[in-house]
Amino acid sequence: MIVIAENLNTRNKVYMDAVKNRDKKTLTELMEKLKESGAEIINIQCSLDSAGDEDTLPWVTEILGDAADSSISLDSRNTQALKKAIPLCKKPPLINFISETEPEDQKTMLSLVSNTGASLVIRASGGTIPTSLEAKLQIIERLLEMANTADIPNERLFADPSIVHIGRGMGQKHLLNSHECIRVLKELVEPPVNTIAWIANVSTGLPKALRKPLEATFLSYVAGAGLDAAMVDILDENIRKTIYLIKSFRDEIVFAQADIS
């Protein structure tokens, strides 16, 4: 399982203050901590709607490239920002994300990904997040076709079933169908496509004490469906232990009791 740190997001006040104030020292320290905690890829989010990313995303990307030898996930639908940021990555980055409604200029996004060797998250969303398994799969199928037409192979695509919080009106049904979406994609799509999920979304709105244990349990649940990559709070001990055990059960690492004691 690929571990993607989602910690550099708009909810992280220390991070966002550092971005606003161009505080390179604080950003470097945050990035080093994520790498030391086991992040294989670090996701960079500078805004919720991609506004202004053409100024902030390249700056943060360059610092991350200098501070840590981790791969980068660029969380933006701003194609101008991506054009500036992608050349600053030491390795082809993961672009997060494209859906049926974002970005507005989908052709430019797909061309950019295709020409740079980047990978791309394709998200099961079309303005709203579909409830049914069939609707999720239909959207992903259409996005797969678009990406393949733009010469982006399945091996560089990460299908996201769109996780919603369990407390939402139909949250439990959404989550069940997201699990099944991952399982079906792993079983039926040829050549194989990667799957990805933003784990923290499952606990949005819940009391702080409940969130991390819930996220860790949900991570195990979707890992059982064959999840390839997880966007997680890598600084949380519950999450790190769960990742360690998942990797152990999959024989991706050598288990040692001392590592989780």
φ/ψ of 10, rounded to 5, equals -70, -15
Q: Would you state the pLDDT for residue 68?
A: 65
Q: Report how far residue 182's alpha carbon sits from residue 133's, in angstroms, rounded to the nearest whole number.
A: 10
Q: Report how far residue 98's alpha carbon sits from residue 134's, in angstroms, rounded to the nearest whole number.
A: 19
Tell me the DSSP string of 173-213: HHHHHHHHHHHHHHHH-SS--EEEEEGGGGGTTS-HHHHHH
Cβ-proximal residues to 123 (8 Å cutoff; 6+ apart), any chain: 97, 98, 99, 143, 160, 162
User: pLDDT (tens digit, 0 to 9) for every residue of the chain, 261 residues total?
Assistant: 999 999 999 999 999 999 999 999 999 999 999 999 999 999 999 998 899 999 999 999 999 987 667 799 999 999 999 999 999 999 999 999 999 998 888 999 999 999 999 999 999 998 888 889 999 999 999 999 999 999 999 999 999 999 999 987 788 999 999 999 999 999 999 999 999 999 999 999 999 999 999 999 999 999 999 999 999 999 999 999 999 999 999 999 999 988 887
Q: Would you state the pLDDT for residue 107?
A: 94
Question: What domains lie within the chain, and their CATH numbers?
Answer: 2-260 (3.20.20.20)
Contacts made by residues 115-118, CB under 8 angstroms, sequence distance 24+: 116/86, 116/92, 117/92, 117/156, 118/86, 118/92, 118/93, 118/94, 118/156
Q: Would you state the pLDDT for residue 30?
A: 95
Cβ-proximal residues to 211 (8 Å cutoff; 6+ apart), any chain: 200, 203
Q: Report how far residue 200's alpha carbon sits from residue 217's, in angstroms, rounded to the nearest whole number.
A: 11
